[in-house]
Structure 1
Amino acid sequence: MRYPLFIALRYLKGGRGSPFLSVITLISITGVTLGVAALIITLSVMNGFHEDLRDKIVGTNAHLVILKEGAEGLANYKELGRRVERMNHVLATAPFIFGQAMIRSSTSSLGVVIRGIDIDKEAKVTALAENIIKGRLKDFGPNSLILGKELAMSLGADVGEWVRVISPRGIAMPVGMKPRFKSFKVTGIFATGMYEYDSTLAYVTLDSAQGLFGMGEVVTGLQVKIDNIHQAGKMDKGIQKELGYPYWVRNWMELNSNLFAALRMEKITMTVILVLIILVATFNIASALIMKVIRKTKEIGILKAMGAQRKSIMSIFILEGLIIGLMGTLLGTFIGSLISFLQDKYHFVKLPGGGEIYYISILPISMKGSDILLIILATIGISLLATLYPAWRGARLDPVEAIRYE
């Protein structure tokens, strides 16, 4: 063992001949450990929220949406759907209609977003069937309607009851505009976990939506499911190039860009705060090393008088700081990863309200190896920087003055 490493290890211990680490060393290691563990847990939770939110959004919407320039919609959607399905990496397509209307129950009236769907095709591109919490999807027909959970509660409507949907697109009559309306039987209630969807969305058949909004054989657009959700940003450009004008394609990330931008900003903010905690912990390392230089001034002078070079003296304190940083980093990584793993497997931390207050009932966790590796490298790098000034200060001591130091 080279003597700088031997001396660095000896300086970590409490006193002469003590086999235990000193209190200052333990405090420094603990600070780094807590900072690293907190950062790993926080990033894992943020990743978990991001992925859970993504799954809920993609479960309600397709990976890609094809629309047509202008307001006339798609008249050739069947042919267009077959054409898109022949493209590489495309699994399925489904037409849809979006429109705003008013829905009236026996107790309440509310604004609602009507979504017209072909139920057989819809099941291939979204998770509607999995989101049904009451009623049966096979009962969905021409006079049927599926309500979001929050919307059904606001209307006081349940499965088997009838509601009336009134369209803003009326029928021109000699005496004025006559509103279009139709009665529907509630055959199902769905819950996505996203309040925005559960409180405003209602599904009807494609034919019913076309009749309500006077669209004839036209639909609003075409949903597309691909084989890899992470390639949506690349696939939309490929399909756009293949179809050309007047079609335009948007992926699920673009359609929810504001939401995911807010999540990214929150993740960055939390990371910065916790990195500051790690910085404070590494300042403890610097402080401990400066105190060690002061306490060991006479020993440093003896080493220099015996011929030790400046770089060897610097190596002693750099190695000591790196060992503290490395021990704290490894311990923090183990603790943070263990807590994240246990939460992901056993869900011992639950959110209040059982999913009623928040959109989920448990704290989601998703550990990413790239995040953990970056935390380890960054913490060790910061620890190294924290050692430079104390090491330089120790190396520049004059041996004569150091030996005389009391």
Structure 2
Amino acid sequence: MFHPLPLYIGLRYTRAKRRNHFISFISGTSMVGITLGIVALIVVLSVMNGFHKEIQQRILSMASHATLTDPYGGGMTDWREVLQRVRAHPDVVGAAPFVEVQGMLVNSSYVSGALVRGIVPTEEDEVADLREQMVSGSVDDLADGEFRIILGRDLAAFLGVGPGDKVTVVTPQVSATPVGIMPRLKRFTVSGIFAVGMADYDRNAAFIHLRDGAKLMNYGEAVSGVRIKLTDMWEAPRLSREIAYDLGGSYRLIDWTQVHSNFFSALAIEKRMMGIILFLIVAVAAFNIVSTLVMVVTDKQSDIAVLRTLGLSPARVMAVFMVQGTAIGLIGTLIGMFAGVVLAWNVEPVVGTIETLFSVHFLDPTIYYISQLPSDVHLADVLSISGGAFLMSVLATIYPAWRAAQTQPAEALRYE
């Protein structure tokens, strides 16, 4: 049979403010501490999710979900047949051949290393968003035999070139000349500039036509490999294995989680550690609940003794004070969860208002590629934060409630 007496008394103690205002104040600060801790956790983790999503989108806008290459590092001669077989896979959205050249770009006295990738503009659209990243010029300007090149914004700025200027591409391939062995080099005309917002591409990447790249690498009709875009990038490891199996296992296939594993692992660790650090705010608030209940137990010694004399068992006395502490934690958790989600959804206008009022820029657009705070609220984060805070609040009530249950009526009423 359900006996709501501990619940009634515990909630009454939570509301009572007549005898000791200081205890009520401590209870209020504990509740506010839990609320602020949850709000801070939800907002910070949502902003971190937003940044991670933005960075991920920028990386994958240029990187393929999977890359198929020759296992021995040479050129792939049967790439046309491979391309047809890959495109026939039901989970493949698009595929495109490429030639990759690790070389140097030279303009006058300026020299910079770069990854030069040969592409077919119309087919590259199937696996990357280069067309949407163009600042000047067009991807379609890359034509076979024209020896044109598209540079990243930072790379072009370092070399001091723009559309119409010339740069020299120097490759590791060598050619025999009357004066000896010389590296292969070719003059290209800059036809466009792109900007992704990631230094890996804007500072270190350039694009040329596929056939021009094959000539530079002396591949003839071969290519370096095939880039693949899948229906679900999160299933890239599994789908890559399926595609490799369908092709007979004679090719090397790596997916984006392998190429960028260190980077995304670092982001995950950063988020996890930030969550642990910020959760200490909730832990401090939970300790406040302990101190609150200890003072309440001390203040209510005579009340506890009377209740014990009237037949209330130690377990139900313990339940009274657990109800009081749990109520503080529950209210703080619910308010914090609601306020945190609302603030996380509106963090961009809130930050914009603060910047306008105080004439500051938290993310200066002249310095940072991301000039606004992105936010991505994950239900799993909200539930884990709120659940963890509530659980900690409940655990904080156990020791003070146990101390209350150990009260001896005769000792407590001796001096009353």
What TM-score results when the alignment is normalised by the length of structure 2? 0.92
CA contact (8 A) 1:12 1:21 kept: no
Cα–Cα, structure 1 residues 347 and 184, in superposed 2: closer, same or farther, change >3 Å?
A: farther
CA contact (8 A) 1:150 1:198 kept: yes
SS in structure 2 of the partner of residue 60 of structure 1:
coil
CA-CA distance at 1:405 after TM superposition:
5.3
Aligned pairs (5 A) from 1:7-406: 7-16=9-18, 22-106=24-108, 108-141=110-143, 142-173=146-177, 175-343=179-347, 348=352, 351-354=362-365, 356-404=366-414
CA-CA distance at 1:260 after TM superposition:
0.6
SS in structure 2 of the partner of residue 125 of structure 1:
coil
CA-CA distance at 1:98 after TM superposition:
1.5
CA contact (8 A) 1:63 1:225 kept: yes
Following TM superposition, where does structure 1 have runs of at least 4 consecutive aligned residues deviating by more than 4 angstroms?
17-21, 344-347
Q: In structure 2, what is the Cα distance between the partners aligned to 1:364 and 1:159?
A: 33
SS in structure 1 of the partner of residue 176 of structure 2:
strand
What TM-score results when the alignment is normalised by the length of structure 1? 0.95
What is the letter of the counterpart of residue 7 of structure 1?
A: I
CA-CA distance at 1:280 after TM superposition:
1.3
What is the letter of the counterpart of residue 44 of structure 1?
A: S
What is the letter of the counterpart of residue 359 of structure 1?
A: Y
SS in structure 2 of the partner of residue 61 of structure 1:
coil
User: After superposition, what is the alpha-carbon deviation per residue over 1:6-55, rounded to whole angstroms, capped at 9, x for unaligned?
Assistant: 22122123523999992111101011011111111121122112211111
CA contact (8 A) 1:13 1:21 kept: no
Q: In structure 1, what is the Cα distance between the partners aligned to 2:388 and 2:156?
A: 50
Q: In structure 1, what is the Cα distance between the partners aligned to 2:59 and 2:333?
A: 36
CA-CA distance at 1:181 after TM superposition:
2.0
> Which ranges of structure 2 fall in alignment gaps of 5 or more residues?
356-360
Q: In structure 2, what is the Cα distance between the partners aligned to 1:346 and 1:35?
A: 19
CA-CA distance at 1:122 after TM superposition:
0.5
What is the letter of the counterpart of residue 216 of structure 1?
A: G
Q: In structure 2, what is the Cα distance between the partners aligned to 1:360 and 1:116?
A: 29
SS in structure 2 of the partner of residue 160 of structure 1:
coil
CA contact (8 A) 1:62 1:252 kept: yes
Larger deviation, residues 173-182 vs 87-96: 173-182
Cα–Cα, structure 1 residues 347 and 188, in superposed 2: closer, same or farther, change >3 Å?
A: farther
Cα–Cα, structure 1 residues 68 and 138, in superposed 2: closer, same or farther, change >3 Å?
A: closer
Cα–Cα, structure 1 residues 189 and 346, in superposed 2: closer, same or farther, change >3 Å?
A: farther
SS in structure 1 of the partner of residue 64 of structure 2:
coil
SS in structure 2 of the partner of residue 145 of structure 1:
strand
Cα–Cα, structure 1 residues 18 and 388, in superposed 2: closer, same or farther, change >3 Å?
A: closer
Cα–Cα, structure 1 residues 405 and 84, in superposed 2: closer, same or farther, change >3 Å?
A: farther
What is the letter of the counterpart of residue 253 of structure 1?
A: T
Count of residue pairs the alignment pairs up: 405
Q: In structure 1, what is the Cα distance between the partners aligned to 2:152 and 2:103?
A: 15
Q: In structure 1, what is the Cα distance between the partners aligned to 2:182 and 2:278?
A: 61
Cα–Cα, structure 1 residues 59 and 405, in superposed 2: closer, same or farther, change >3 Å?
A: farther
